[in-house]
Amino acid sequence: MTQHLLRAASTRFYKMFAQLDLEGMGELWAHSVPVSCVHPGWDLVLGREAVMESWRAIFSGTSELSFETEEVQITAGSDMGWVVSRELLRTTVQGMPVENTLTAINTFVLEQGVWRIAHHHAAPLLAGRPRSVRPPETTLH
């Protein structure tokens, strides 16, 4: 059940991202722990205000976005979990179409029964797209 809820939280993240919905994105981020983010090519972004400003900057420079995720692996504990995946990103930046393949880790914390993001890290996959060995989804005790 926990993996299902984490998968749903991750899906909401990508939906808000693809819709360039800053308000919706803000609702997804944790309040009870310090948050952080690493966008591809960016330095570490620390703190809720800075993280939201980073999304504002990304959304203002992008006119459209679409995602596919693959090789999704979910690890869940009682109040913390993470989703690891490969992102296939298609976007338009300053009128130019862009396609990227990224590896991503989204770390979630459970706040009052809702899974919220504490850290997002996405990095470009520079060397092809090798298939990973995929272990089963895991629940931590």
Q: Encode pLDDT of 86-127 as tens digits.
A: 999 888 777 888 888 999 999 999 999 999 999 999 999 876
Give the span between the Cα atoms of 73 and 137, in whole angstroms.
6
Tell me if 107 is assigned to some domain: yes
Domain with 7 in it: what CATH number? 3.10.450.50
- Give the range of the structural domain holding residue 59, as residue numbers without chain letter: 2-124
Q: What is the pTM of this model?
A: 0.84
Report the pLDDT value the prediction gives residue 128, as an integer from 0 to 100: 56
Tell me if 135 is assigned to some domain: no
Tell me if 138 is assigned to some domain: no
Number of structural domains in the chain: 1
Tell me if 68 is assigned to some domain: yes
Tell me if 137 is assigned to some domain: no
